[in-house]
Amino acid sequence: MPTIIVVVSLMVGGGLLAREFYRVPDQQPDAILALPSSTARPLGQQPGPSTVELTPDAAAHPQHEVIRLLLQTYFDSINNRNYNQWQTTVTQARIQTKSRAAWLQDFESTKDGSILVYRIDAVSSQDLRVLLGFTSVQDPRSAPQELPGASCVQWKLTLPVTLESGHWKVDTVAGYTTPEAIKC
């Protein structure tokens, strides 16, 4: 009888251990998942929703929710013309390159939407690169230099994100990346 109890106990313990080992991890409920759309929105519906969404690839990164919230605040600050809020999302180096007056002028008519994070890559323990796309509408007089007169632009770029004072911040965009901009 004692042998049977030992054998059954080992089997139950082994079964519980195997169940935990092979268990499929729970889906992250806080990640807003989306797939790149192959259909364009009509011009009248641009720029699309202002919610930052993640592809499944981006959502697999351990820092995905922190980065999603950072970018949500970043884009909300632009859409709401809130320079003080924008300053909370960027590094000191980036703040020093953009005065309040210049920032307000740059974004005076900008509205961003259809924001999708494709990928988050670690460069180091303190630096990430975030590949994202978004749509921006603005007064044609405020169009980017590469697309004069454009009232709607679809952007794809890599944003550097750096750990500064214990918080992830959008850093200055260095010369290693060239944003892709196409007219809607």
* 26 occurs within a structural domain: no
Q: Is 72 helix (H, G, I), strand (E, B) or coil?
A: helix
163 within a domain of the structure (yes/no) = yes
Tell me which residue range forms the domain holding 66.
Answer: 32-183
Question: At 7, which helix (H) or strand (E)?
Answer: helix 2-22
- The predicted-structure confidence for 105-114, as pLDDT tens digits, reads as follows 999 999 999 9
| Residue 75 burial (C-beta neighbours within 10 Å; 0-12, 13-18, 19+) | buried
Residue 119 belongs to some domain of the structure: yes
Number of structural domains in the chain = 1
The CATH number for 85's domain is 3.10.450.100
In a domain, 27, yes or no: no
114/13 Cα distance (integer angstroms): 49
Low-confidence ranges of the chain (pLDDT < 50): 6, 17-18, 21, 24-29, 38
Report pLDDT for 28.
Answer: 46
Q: What is the DSSP letter of 151?
A: S
End-to-end Cα separation, the chain, in angstroms: 77
Asked, for residue 110, whether it belongs to a domain, the answer is yes
Q: Residue 175's pLDDT is what?
A: 66
Hunting for tokens 């759309």 — which residue is that?
A: 37
Q: Answer yes or no: are the C-beta atoms of 119 and 87 closer than 8 Å.
A: no
The pTM of this model reads: 0.78
